[in-house]
Structure 1
Amino acid sequence: MEKSEKGFIPVMLTPFSDDGRIDYKALELLTAHYLDAGVKGLFANCLSSEMFELNNEERISLTAKVVKIADRTVPVVATGTFGGPIAQQAEFVKRIYDTGIDAVILITSLIAEESDTDEQFNEKVMQLLQLTPSVPVGFYECPLPFKRVLSAAQLGSFVATGRVTYHKDTSLDINQVRAKLAVTQQPGFGLYDAYMVHALASLRAGSAGLSCIQGNFFPELIVWLCKNYDKPELDAELNALQDFLILHMDVMHDVYPYAAKYALQKQGLPISTFTRRDVGHFSPANAREIEQLYADYNILQQRIGI
């Protein structure tokens, strides 16, 4: 994930048929939807993909399908750690890397126990790297099963190994993002922010791009932001976009990823709203909020010229 590739990397949804099986035809259309929007990479087999509700064979087949569809047009990354002894995790890291992805994402909350110290966590990361020689990796501070946020010092030491190409940051703290950027100025590495409250500030601080759920509602908007964040003549439009993301954050997070699938379906993408994860009831009120979201989005689109 070179810094020249600054842009949006969507956390991909997994389309299911109404009987709960992975819908690979819908996956083709969804992947094309992302690519047509101008994304700079794809993050398959992630939390938005309902990765904890997939078995290992499904994780492999889903990721391999995305790699095939992308056909090397953009980098593809995918999660490769799901708990257990480090040696066991290393075997799956190597297996999913063999699907042809560009890097294997390590979930910070699944490499070590919640009770483990930072030093114990660091040791396990280094052990995992030793057991998976030559495999490029990244980190994702996934909120489940608990949230472990890397310090700037930790991330800097990992990036210094030359093995880390990607980091999805969920610290929700622009000062932490800046601190991480200050110690990871290495070619081939990119920090991608998930928190849209400070999306504009993060890009201007030097983040390589964004990797957020909002792009599952309107990927072209996040692509536009990544392309235009540094243009002073567009300050008014950029600030309006930032305000829009803040205003509608709760709507997009509520009953997710069902809400995102519903939104894509309303846009004409043939995707079922079926989710394996129990995300609660999608109510008529939720539907009205999504309708209002897109009404406001249409106004914003006209203002910024998408």
Structure 2
Amino acid sequence: MSSVTSSAVSLPQGFIPVMLTPFLESGEVDYEGLKALTELYLESGAAGLFANCLSSEMYELTEEERLTVTRTVVDQVAGRVPVVATGTFGGPIAEQAQFVKRIYDTGVQAVIVITGLLAEENEGDEVFIQRTNELIALTGDIPLGFYECPVPYKRLISSEVLAELLPSNRIIYHKDTCLDLDEVIRRIKVAEGYRFGLYDAYMANAVASLRAGAAGLSCIQGNIYPELIVWICENYDNADREEDVKMLQKFFIDSMEIVHSAYPTIAKYCMQKRGFPIAAYTRRDVGELTPELQERADMLLDEVDQIQTELGIPSVFKKTVEEPLK
């Protein structure tokens, strides 16, 4: 166990988007577009930002691009909200620890650890705990977070495993993908008294997770309708808006499938349609955004407009782009 007794950092409550990476048609990272996108998330009311994640196509970025993308976001944010970023990409733990330090040096508040890269799928929890403790010991007092990323495989961190690791006082963020409300409640319970926030990645249990004490949401839907995610984080327990909250939770469930289709290409397409100048170019092979998917995305955006009008939520997108960029 690390000798560090406390982490002085905790992340704010609310929406922490998993950021997209804009690319130029040449395939290079569009750093000016990334700065503009950072501003869009902030304008929508994001409490923090998660750069260099799966939505950012982190596995398709070079090591230097991962660092430059993260540094660009940190510099653009200029201290307005905390930024976290992934810092583990496989290999021996000592190597992973070195890159954790490099990512931390970009100015992020915490470095996110991919759970499926610390132990193989056939290795037990004791191996995972041992490797995590090794990583903790090799990374000074850097605040860390867990990401139950579906790639290379989804390794869930049970509340029992979390209870073993939280006394290090180094784990401050958890992007939860277990889809099990009872387990979410257990995880929140074992983390009481620690500087730790659980951010649910799945919108199926958004309201229930928030009511159970989740710190917020880190979901891909924030790359299509960020305003609605911010609104639910602010109003999930507002008795005066109970019917609106129910309606919005149902919408999140009903739109789950389309949001996950050909993602993140579909998110870039939706941002284009809403007026943000981002190319649909995606390095990650996620399947084709077919005309049928585009049509369903258009219908989704009509519904989003209608909901925002009904709830009185202004759009952060500027309807100034005549034609979506190719």
Q: Which of 153, 156, 159 is equivalent to 1:149?
A: 156
**Which blocks of at least 5 consecutive residues in structure 1 are unaligned?**
none
Count of residues in Structure 1 that have an aligned counterpart in Structure 2: 305
Q: 2:259 maps to what in 1? A: 252
Deviations 1:212-271 (A, max 9, x none): 000000111100100111111111000010011111111110000000000001111111
1:298, distance to aligned residue in structure 2 (A): 1.6
Question: How far does the alpha carbon of each residue in 1:128-159 deviate from its partner, in whole angstroms, 9 at most, with x for none?
Answer: 00000111000000001101000101112222
Name the stretch that deviates more: 43-52 or 148-157: 148-157
In the alignment, what sits opposite 2:25?
Answer: 18
Inter-partner Cα distance in structure 1 for 2:168 and 2:287: 42
1:173 to 170, 173, 180: 180
Give the aligned partner of residue 3 of structure 2. none
8 A contact 1:159–1:186 mirrored in 2: no
Matches within 5 A, 1:65-144: 65-144=72-151
Is 2:169 the partner of 1:162? yes
* DSSP-derived class of the 1:43 partner: strand
CA contact (8 A) 1:258 1:279 kept: yes
Matching residue's letter, 1:257: P
Task: Give 1:280's aligned residue.
Answer: 287
Aligned partner of 2:60 among 53, 66, 74: 53
Corresponding residue number in structure 2 for 1:193: 200
- Quote the Cα distance in structure 2 between the aligned partners of 1:50 and 1:290: 21
Q: CA deviation at 1:187?
A: 4.3
SS of aligned partner of 1:160: helix
SS at match of 2:70: helix
Give, in whole Å, the separation in 2 of the partners of 1:32 and 1:266.
Answer: 18
Q: Aligned equivalents of 2:167 and 2:65: distance in 1? A: 33
Q: Normalising by the residue count of structure 1, what TM-score does the alignment of the two structures yield? A: 0.98
1:63 equivalenced with 2:76 (yes/no): no
C-alpha distance in 1 between matches for 2:10 and 2:89: 27
Q: Tell me how large the CA RMSD over aligned residues is.
A: 1.0
Name structure 2 gaps, 5 residues minimum: 1-8, 314-326
Q: Compute the TM-score of the two structures, normalised by the length of structure 2.
A: 0.92
Q: Which amino acid aligns with 1:12?
A: M
Instruction: Give, in angstroms, the shift of residue 18 of structure 1.
Output: 0.5
Structure 1 segments of 4+ aligned residues over 3 angstroms from their partners? none
Rounded to whole Å, the distance in 1 between the matches of 2:247 and 2:159 is 31
- Asked if structure 2 preserves the Cα contact closer than 8 Å seen for 1:2 and 1:187, the reply is no
Q: Could you tell me the percent identity over the aligned residues?
A: 53
Q: Following the alignment from structure 1 to structure 2, what is the Cα–Cα distance between the partners of residues 167 and 296?
A: 31
Contact 1:194–1:211 under 8 Å retained in 2: yes
What secondary structure, in the 3-state scheme, does the structure 2 residue paired with 1:166 have?
strand
Separation in structure 2 between the aligned mates of residue 73 and residue 115 of structure 1, nearest angstrom: 42
Q: Specify the code of the residue in structure 2 equivalent to 1:24.
A: Y
Q: Deviations over 1:50-93 (max 9, x none)?
A: 00001110000000000000111000000000110000100000
